[in-house]
Structure 1
Amino acid sequence: MTTPSHRRRSRPRRHTALLSAVAVAAVALVVSLAVAFRPGGGGTADVQDAAKPVSGARASASPTPGAPSASGSPTPSASAASPTARASASRSATASAASSAAARAKATTSTATAPRTSASGSLAGRIRPGVTYRGVATSYDVGNGDGACSYGPTSDVMTAAMNTADYETSKACGAFVAVHAGGKSITVRITNECPAPCQAGQLDLSQQAFAKLAPLSAGRIQITWNLLSPSTSDTISIRYKTGSTQYWCGIQALGHRNPLARLEVRTGGGWKQLERTAYNYFLSEQGTGCGAAIRLTDIYGEQLTIEGIAVKPDAVQSTSAQFTRR
């Protein structure tokens, strides 16, 4: 049987063992802390595993947000791009912006030939390239050569008036068309409008033009016709309408090889498209862009920018510009 004295002696031994264990743990803790806070420290397997990049992630990914760096400064958040990535993205964005700016500058300040529109191209309207139209031809006395297109008197008698539907609010003005009948062909320029009873597809030819296809006594003949982009040495001219000023103006283009789709004027905010009238002038009712640069676009999408045209009412001002032959 164990004596009480034996029980009293056993307590100091347990106390001593406990103190020894605490001392050992304290030493281990101090050593662990010293290693953990050493620059570049952290030698446990758990720390090494945490430093490995996740499969598929960039090895240069930022540390956990808020974790102190070796220098004591907060590290960048995980969502922040590295300096290398930001520099690369910046160079890419700068190059892209420069390319876009160059493309915009070319489109707005220089002559540019756009790809040819298809037969259903929106710029072409009713009279489209590559399409053969069927109708009838009649004839009329052109007088001094003036007509609804407001080109004024002319000695050119190879002209025609377009039916109202295909005239399309003067969009046909200036167009060259080849007319075919009975094995014969002629080329005429549209200078006038043929109102009802002229029907879609019908051309009212000058008497001189009609006579090259059939005797005037025929009165009415079956024809086919198609749009042309003819060879010419002429260049485009610009004319401001009578009464034009810096506060109101009408602008007309003369001598263009291909039909016009748009006429725009340069303003402080960019290019402004002017409304086209049935008498073939483009109007700026509030004077916007009157006397400024003019941009012409043909039905094929080609654009010509014309500078230096002053507001001189009813004066024909020549240019060196002309659309490309198609």
Structure 2
Amino acid sequence: MHETTRQAARQRRRRRRLTIGTTTGLAVTALLVGLVVAMQPDRKEDTASAAATAVTDSRQTPSPTTPGHKSSSPSPSATSASPKASAATPKSARSPSAAPSPSSAAPRTAPVTTSLARRIRPQITYPGVATVYKAGVGDGACSYGPSSDMMIAAMNTTDYQTSRACGAYVRVHAANGNSVMVRITNECPLPCAPGQLDLSEQAFAKLAPITTGRIAITWSLLSPQTSGTISIRYKNGSSPYWCGIQAIGHRNPLARLEVRAGGAWRQLARTDYNYFLSPDGSGCGGPIRLTDIYGERLTLNGIALRPDAVQPTGVQFARH
């Protein structure tokens, strides 16, 4: 009896120890889980806060740029938000700095270029010699016809450049201090050397006695004061199927003559007798565009196809 009672007591003590151990273990486990759960939201919150701060900083404080220049790389927010807009940005950024076309640029301030001026350029003094010839009525290789102004000269073949010198005004200086302004209306063939001018007797006499015959000179291109305007002349025999066009009275040397044909401007080839030819008649009788060596363009409308008739335009190139 007593033995049975003692066994039952021992079993009750073991059950209490197991219950206490289990309860303690569960309590410890619960405590650990609670700590883990309690700590996890704090880490997520810190991470989210750091990410938000980085994005905010990237939007509010872009990388510094040199004053007057665009950043070479866009901010992360701009790139991620609108990649198409970012890709288009360089085009719009470049367009203001793109060189304007001659038709849209202010022609009176356009600088002279080597491609337009060729050999005879402004602000350059050319050395040479002056000789003298009997100019008759003033006509010559430039095909301008008779002239009442005999302050004219023939340009050497090298500087004549297939009539590119025709109509140019040059100031000629002699060693004795005398000078004269002449207009180029003729060509002086070989043996005239580069830099040589063959002056009319009237022009040569402004520098030295005609009997001198040959003197050392320097000369330079002018853009003179004038009240005259440009005229256009179609060559004799011109028609809608072939034509030659000439500009007369231009202040500055002429670089190009174009006609409007097929919805576009077509540059005509220049002859050594100072006419621009359209061999197939394209543009004959239509709008004409003139360009001087400074890049200024003049568009002429309403010029009739009237062979060998001098037709005034009422316009003139700017003075430089």
1:58 correspondence with 2:59: yes
The answer for the alignment partner of 2:228 in structure 1 is: 234
Q: CA deviation at 1:45?
A: 4.4
1:297 to 291, 298, 302: 291
The answer for the alignment partner of 2:6 in structure 1 is: none
Q: How many angstroms apart in 1 are the aligned matches of 2:185 and 2:197? A: 11
The answer for the alignment partner of 1:130 in structure 2 is: 123
Which residue type is aligned with residue 107 of structure 2?
Answer: A
1:212 correspondence with 2:206: yes
1:184 correspondence with 2:178: yes
Which residue type is aligned with residue 224 of structure 1?
Answer: T
Is the partner of 1:152 in helix, strand or coil? coil
Could you list the per-position Cα deviations for residues 82-128 of structure 1 after superposition, in whole angstroms to 9, with x for gaps in the alignment? 49x949x78x977986x699955xx42797213333xx733222122
The answer for the alignment partner of 2:34 in structure 1 is: none
The answer for the alignment partner of 2:191 in structure 1 is: 197
Structure 2, unpaired ranges of 5+: 1-9, 28-40, 61-77
- Alignment of structure 1 residues 130-279 onto 2, 5 Å: 130-181=123-174, 182-268=176-262, 270-279=264-273
The answer for the alignment partner of 1:324 in structure 2 is: 318
Change (3 A) 1:11 1:291: farther
TM-score where L is the length of structure 2: 0.72
Q: How many angstroms apart in 1 are the aligned matches of 2:277 and 2:47? A: 79
Q: How many angstroms apart in 1 are the aligned matches of 2:177 and 2:153? A: 20
- State the superposition RMSD in angstroms: 4.3
Is the partner of 2:54 in helix, strand or coil? coil
Could you list the per-position Cα deviations for residues 51-73 of structure 1 after superposition, in whole angstroms to 9, with x for gaps in the alignment? 553586438xxxxxxxxxxxxxx
Across the two proteins, how many residue pairs are aligned to each other? 296
1:309 correspondence with 2:287: no
Q: CA deviation at 1:197?
A: 1.1
Q: How many angstroms apart in 1 are the aligned matches of 2:288 and 2:97? A: 23
Q: Which runs of 4+ in 1 moved over 4 A?
A: 10-20, 43-52, 92-97, 99-104
TM-score where L is the length of structure 1: 0.70
Change (3 A) 1:102 1:309: farther
Tell me, yes or no, if the aligned pair for 1:248 and 1:286 is still in contact at 8 Å: yes
Q: How many angstroms apart in 2 are the aligned matches of 1:121 and 1:58? A: 50
1:113 correspondence with 2:108: yes
Change (3 A) 1:315 1:101: farther
Q: How many angstroms apart in 1 are the aligned matches of 2:305 and 2:80? A: 57
The answer for the alignment partner of 1:282 in structure 2 is: 276
Max Rg structure: 2
Q: How many angstroms apart in 2 are the aligned matches of 1:110 and 1:307? A: 21
Change (3 A) 1:279 1:122: same
Tell me, yes or no, if the aligned pair for 1:133 and 1:226 is still in contact at 8 Å: yes
Q: How many angstroms apart in 1 are the aligned matches of 2:121 and 2:99? A: 32
Q: How many angstroms apart in 2 are the aligned matches of 1:141 and 1:221? A: 17
Q: How many angstroms apart in 1 are the aligned matches of 2:263 and 2:182? A: 40
Q: How many angstroms apart in 2 are the aligned matches of 1:102 and 1:300? A: 16
Q: How many angstroms apart in 1 are the aligned matches of 2:195 and 2:207? A: 17
The answer for the alignment partner of 2:75 in structure 1 is: none
Which residue type is aligned with residue 163 of structure 1?
Answer: N
Q: How many angstroms apart in 2 are the aligned matches of 1:53 and 1:286? A: 71
